[in-house]
Amino acid sequence: MAAIGLIPWWGATGVLTSLAILYVGTLLSGAWTLGRVRGVWGSRPSKSAEAEAQAALATSPVLDADTRALLIRLMNLSAVRPTPRGHHLLVQELREALDDPTLSGWRFLHDLTAALDGPDGARLWTLQPELAR
């Protein structure tokens, strides 16, 4: 009869032991991951990320509000559903962007112009999106 009375205690002990093992395992896993992260960060020079960010900022042009608005219009027009009117507006905004002296050196704008003016550009805007079934 005493053995039956001890069953709930063995159950509680089993649960607490399992929780303790889980807790210790989590701590060990966190310590091991932290050691690996410190090894990765220690293997590269700390100034390299800062130097890369400074170089990127130094080479990027300063854009005024009108130029930023033009880029936002280009992004929005390139994201809308393809229609002939959207194609015309995108080409118009793209030409305006290429006339801007700060954006005229951006290679991807020239690539986009070539893609839109090429044989695939006309075909692109005649495609209709498929509806999800």
Kindly list the distances between the CA atom of residue 80 and the CA atoms of 42, 112, 125, 126, in Å, as whole numbers in the listed order. 45, 16, 11, 14
Question: What's the pLDDT score for residue 3?
Answer: 61
pLDDT at 128 over 70: no
- In this prediction the pTM is 0.49
Max Cα-Cα span within the chain: 94
Note the pLDDT tens digit of each residue in 67-108: 999 999 999 988 888 777 888 888 899 999 999 888 888 888
Model confidence pLDDT, tens digit, residues 10-65: 677 777 888 899 899 999 999 999 998 888 777 766 677 778 778 777 777 788 89
Q: Are 70 and 93 in contact (CB under 8 A)?
A: yes
